[in-house]
Amino acid sequence: MITVTKPFFPPIEEFFGYVKQVYDNNWLTNNGPLLVQLETKLKEKLDVPHLLVTSNGTIAIQIAIRALELEGEIITTPFSYVATTSSILWQHCTPVFADIDPFTFNMDPSTIEKLITPETTAILPAHVFGNSCDIDAIQEIADRHSLRVIYDGAHCFGTKYKGESVFKSGDISTASFHATKLFNTAEGGAVITNNPDLNAKMEFHRNFGHNGPGIFEDVGINGKNSELHAAFGLANLPYADEILGRLKALSIYYDVQLSGIPLQTQTINPDCEYNYAYYPVIFPTEEILLKTFNALQVENVFTRRYFAPSLNRLKFVKGNPAPVSEDISRRILCLPLYFSLTEKEIERITSIIRKSWRN
């Protein structure tokens, strides 16, 4: 069986070495020494000034919205995982959907301005599949209209924009370290900012608002992560560059094996140093996609329709039209891509695709 993704596991003895430290410290949560160590190493690795590890990437977005005290409408992308939209709703704000570019799959800056109203307080784009947004264009719009910017960078570990970490963009960027991500802590995420005051505020939000025993600085939630998750992350982090290199090599091999088949692939922003975290392809029609999807599944190859449906079509939102996102969401398929995937397995996958195409 070939699944669309598989988590990277570090050598068990290296993970257990950190687990022993957890036992020796007799410390499981509440910003223990391993979590502090992981935050320090991540700041160094990602070259960012402030980073707080959270329990997951969804709560990271919620904390970011709370820290910026956002209300009213937030312009966001309809082409992302549901958490991008549900986090906005969870914080009692209203998502307004800016359509996407049909080639990069990111929010199209030219669609943003016409959606801005007196109720708009922020823009929340996603760097889809690790491909950086047009950050400069989005920031220029935000500055002109006095809007805040939060980036959903769930797919972005290792991505750079104009030579700098993509996580340095916006007022706040968020990350996901979920098991399926390029770098994982089994479950986890982070909030990242260049602003020390915002960082301090988010630190309170992450830990019930605590500012010492019996002192509550602000309203907070339990957004912390544990020492065991930090242990897994610390054991995984030294392999991040190797994972990046392997995913790039596999993606290039897919390109070769799929040559000649009329599939559209994602156009990478020329200012982006891409991390090759996913391998999405666009079919000419949904009918052809479903035929291929089913042919692969019969052969125990499991792909994923990332991202369907387009989020403006969710039954619990009053979504404005986003025709490009709606079209792409019907025709996109993410093929299996993960560290332990082999070239022979890619040959098998692409052979099934070719055969399905001929039939």
108 sits in which H/E element: none
- In whole angstroms, how far apart are CA 104 and each of 69, 165, 264, 266, 277? 30, 19, 11, 6, 14
Query: Minimal CA–CA distance to 300: which of 38, 3, 101?
Result: 3
Residue carrying the six token digits 């500012």: 211
Structure tokens at 193: 């900012």
Q: How many CB atoms lie within 10 A of CB 20?
A: 11
Match domain 12-236 to its CATH number in 3.30.420.40, 3.30.390.50, 3.40.50.300, 3.40.640.10. 3.40.640.10
Where on the phi/psi map is residue 165: left (φ > 0), alpha (ψ -120 to 50), or beta? beta
Give residue-wise pLDDT tens across range 182-194: 999 999 999 999 9
Q: Is residue 261 classed exposed, middle or buried when 0-12, 13-18 and 19+ CB atoms within 10 A define those classes?
A: middle
Low-confidence residues in the chain, pLDDT < 70: none
Task: For the sheet with 272-273, list strands across it.
Answer: 164-165, 160-161, 272-273
Within 13 A of 144's CA, how many CA atoms are on the CB side? Answer: 9
Runs of H (alpha helix) within the chain? 12-25, 33-46, 57-67, 82-90, 135-144, 196-206, 227-236, 240-257, 286-298, 323-331, 343-358
Domain 239-358: CATH superfamily, name plus number: Aspartate Aminotransferase, domain 1 (3.90.1150.10)
Among 185, 155, 186, CA closest to 173: 155
Q: Looking at this protein, which amino acid is placed at residue 27?
A: W
Local structure of residue 143 (DSSP, 8 states):
H
Which tokens sit at 284? 């000419």
Q: Is it true that 12-236 and 239-358 share their CATH fold?
A: no
- Spell out the domain ranges in the chain: 12-236, 239-358
Whether residue 264 contacts residue 104, with contact meaning beta carbons closer than 8 Å, is answered with: no
Q: What is the pLDDT of residue 148?
A: 98
Q: What is residue 210's predicted lDDT score, i.e. its pLDDT?
A: 85
Task: Kindly report the pTM of this predicted structure.
Answer: 0.97
Residues 119-159: tens digit of each pLDDT: 999 999 999 999 999 999 999 999 999 999 999 999 999 99
pLDDT value at residue 215 = 79
| pLDDT number for residue 62 | 98
Computed on alpha carbons and rounded to an integer, the radius of gyration of the chain in Å comes to 21
